[in-house]
């Protein structure tokens, strides 16, 4: 591939040319550059609506790029060290699903950690692939799921030599990384594809002294949430391929589910953000890491909170840690992370990324200011002083090993009946129950409902977690398989 200048942003440049042409639009979208919807134009700005345009020859077509989008994809591939990069406008959810749908068909086995995002299990429902779960360890003190042990993955591979692929989180929502190089080498030794969910790892490609990225270790595919740490608009992501993965076939898989009306707002944001990271990413993420470390140190001085980092490393299930992540354990002050999440928003006008039962996560980026960091630290100190209580009131772990009875696809489409959640113990769930974020299912289709799981769900409700996944929006009832297996 010819080396391209990362100074270029082909999609943005083409949109600017198009704006200057003053073309009369007799095509969709019907707002006609905002003139047909004045309230929307006033809210979003005429500049935005002027480039909310339809696919056409001068602007290429996301389903089959031949010009500016193709060039933008080549630039992204070079920036990320990939064979090819696909622009994704249905979020990283669609990128994760495209990876699994590329690697697996109905009945194929795929090895994955159980603490995957719901998008991965959704892909199993769509494809009929069979999950071979490697249960992550749980950190005794923090109660959070860790990475996959190399030994556990090797055992899963030897017991399932016909598996087509392995899916790896890099990193987890909390910033924890498995031994990506060792797992990639192991899978390739057994002719399995390596798929990596890097929704929270965009910066690994551009920062220094950060964990290894999927492409750097020779993984076959990776889904990258540019809109998280990469600076692009929400819902915009990249799907990267490497090695012998077919660009044409992967594009066909993507086109099975991705919109045929790709938003040029999202596409241009990917293009501009890639340019920014390629040119300035090292300095950007060095600053983010410094801000995170400063805030971690200040929070740990408060006492009671534990903002964790590389001191957790154990060479295996916590092989590396993303130091840009500000993950804070809250159990010692007797408050669930979700309770602090609510207090920060309701009483201090501070919105953090998420709080779960024992931890919270504040997402720090180059857009943050020192004053903002100080305000967060001060709020946490005051919350401790005002609200701290007995730590025994807090649930002692986040992750419950599931009992998998049926494949997600079989359970999702099986004959079912609806039961009150409180009466469902012993039955097999045919739907999800999850706290969102982080979107890791507490229950997934095909898993047995246990008293322990019901107690955990009840506790999540009591603490104010936002539960989703069931047909019943109140999460009072659940669909289960008609027969208890």
| SS3 state at 341 | helix
User: Residues 107-130: what's their mean pLDDT?
Assistant: 94
- Kindly state whether residues 88 and 163 are assigned to the same domain: yes
Tokens standing for 203? 């910066």
In a domain, 95, yes or no: yes
The pLDDT value given to residue 398: 64
Say if residue 329 is in the same domain as residue 215: no
Q: Give a yes or no: residue 342 inside a domain.
A: yes
- Residue of 361, 357, 369, 344 whose CA lies nearest to 308: 361
**In this model, does residue 267 exceed pLDDT 80?**
yes
- What pTM, to 2 d.p., does this model score? 0.95
Q: What is the pLDDT of residues 25-58, one digit of tens each?
A: 899 999 999 999 999 999 999 999 999 999 999 9
SS3 sequence of 145-185: ECCCCHHHHHHHHHHCCCCCEEEEECCCCCCEECCHHHHHH
Q: Which of 391, 393, 475, 403 lies closest to 435, judged by CA?
A: 475
Helix (H) or strand (E) holding 346: helix 337-348
Q: What is the average per-residue pLDDT within 13-21?
A: 93
- Report pLDDT for 223: 98
Average pLDDT over every residue of 193-204: 97
pLDDT one-digit tens code per residue, 274-325: 999 999 999 999 999 999 999 999 999 999 999 999 999 999 999 999 999 9
- Confidence band (pLDDT; 50, 70, 90) for 459? confident
Q: Considering its fold, how many domains does the chain have in total? A: 3
CB 49 within 8 A of CB 34: yes
Chain-centre distance of CA 336, in angstroms? Answer: 22
Q: What is the pLDDT of residue 393?
A: 64
Q: Are residues 224 and 145 in the same domain?
A: yes
pLDDT, averaged across the chain: 94
415 lies in some domain: yes
The span from the CA of 276 to the CA of 385, in Å, is 42
The pLDDT assigned to 3 comes to 80
Residue 395 has pLDDT above 80, yes or no: no
Same domain? For 273 and 296 the reply is: no
Judge whether 431 lies within some domain: yes
Ramachandran region of residue 349, left (φ > 0), alpha (ψ -120 to 50) or beta? left
The answer, yes or no, to whether residue 366 has pLDDT greater than 90, is no
Give residue-wise pLDDT tens across range 116-126.
999 999 999 99
pLDDT band at residue 394 using 50, 70 and 90 as cut-offs: low
pLDDT recorded at residue 112:
96
137-146, 204-213, 383-392: least confident range: 137-146
Domain finish residue from 358, 393, 428:
393
467-484: average pLDDT: 90
Residues 367 and 235 occupy one common structural domain = no
Residue 41 lies in a domain: no
**Host domain of residue 117:** 57-278
pLDDT band at 464 (very low <50, low <70, confident <90, very high): confident
Residues 107 and 213 grouped into a single domain: yes
């Amino acid at each position: 591939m010819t080396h391209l200048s990362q100074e270029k942003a082909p999609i943005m440049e083409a949109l600017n040319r198009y704006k200057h042409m003053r073309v009369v639009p007799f095509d969709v979208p019907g707002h006609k550059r905002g003139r047909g919807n004045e309230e929307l134009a006033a809210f979003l700005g005429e500049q935005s609506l002027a480039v909310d345009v339809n696919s056409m020859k001068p602007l290429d077509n996301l389903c089959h790029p031949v010009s500016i989008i193709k060039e933008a994809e080549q630039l992204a591939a070079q920036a990320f060290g990939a064979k090819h990069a696909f622009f994704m406008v249905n979020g990283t959810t669609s990128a994760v699903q495209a990876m699994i749908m590329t690697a697996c068909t109905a009945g194929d086995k795929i090895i994955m950690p159980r603490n995957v995002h719901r998008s991965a299990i959704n892909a199993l429902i769509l494809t009929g692939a069979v999950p071979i779960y490697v249960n992550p360890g749980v950190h005794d003190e923090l109660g959070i799921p860790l990475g996959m042990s190399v030994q556990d993955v090797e055992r899963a591979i030897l017991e399932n030599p016909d598996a087509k692929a392995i899916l790896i989180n890099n990193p987890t929502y909390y910033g924890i990384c498995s031994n990506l190089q060792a797992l990639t080498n192991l899978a390739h030794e057994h002719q399995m594809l390596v798929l990596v969910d890097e929704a929270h790892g965009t910066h690994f490609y551009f920062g220094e002294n950060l964990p290894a990225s999927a492409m750097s270790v020779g993984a076959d595919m990776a889904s990258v949430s540019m809109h998280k740490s990469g600076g692009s608009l929400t819902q915009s992501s990249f799907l990267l391929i490497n090695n012998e993965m077919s660009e044409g076939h992967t594009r066909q898989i993507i086109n099975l589910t991705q919109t045929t009306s790709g938003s040029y707002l999202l596409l241009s944001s990917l293009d501009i953000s890639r340019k920014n990271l390629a040119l300035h990413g090292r300095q950007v993420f060095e600053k983010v890491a410094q801000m995170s470390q400063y805030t971690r140190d200040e929070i740990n001085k408060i006492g009671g909170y534990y903002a964790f980092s590389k001191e957790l490393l154990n060479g295996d299930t916590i092989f590396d840690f993303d130091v840009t992540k500000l993950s804070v354990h809250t159990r010692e002050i007797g408050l669930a992370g979700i309770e602090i999440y609510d207090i920060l928003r309701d009483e201090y006008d501070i919105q953090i990324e998420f709080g779960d039962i024992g931890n919270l996560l504040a997402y720090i980026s180059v857009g943050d200011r020192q004053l903002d960091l100080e305000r967060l630290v001060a709020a946490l100190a005051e919350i401790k002083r005002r609200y701290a209580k007995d730590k025994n009131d807090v649930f002692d772990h986040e992750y419950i090993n599931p009992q998998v009875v049926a494949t997600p696809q079989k359970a999702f489409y099986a004959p079912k009946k609806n039961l009150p959640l409180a009466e469902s113990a012993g039955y097999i769930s045919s739907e999800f129950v999850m706290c969102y974020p982080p979107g890791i299912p507490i229950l997934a289709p095909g898993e047995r409902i246990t008293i322990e799981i019901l107690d955990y769900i009840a506790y999540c409700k009591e603490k104010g977690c936002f539960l989703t996944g069931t047909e019943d929006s109140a999460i009072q009832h659940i669909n289960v398989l008609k027969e208890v297996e």
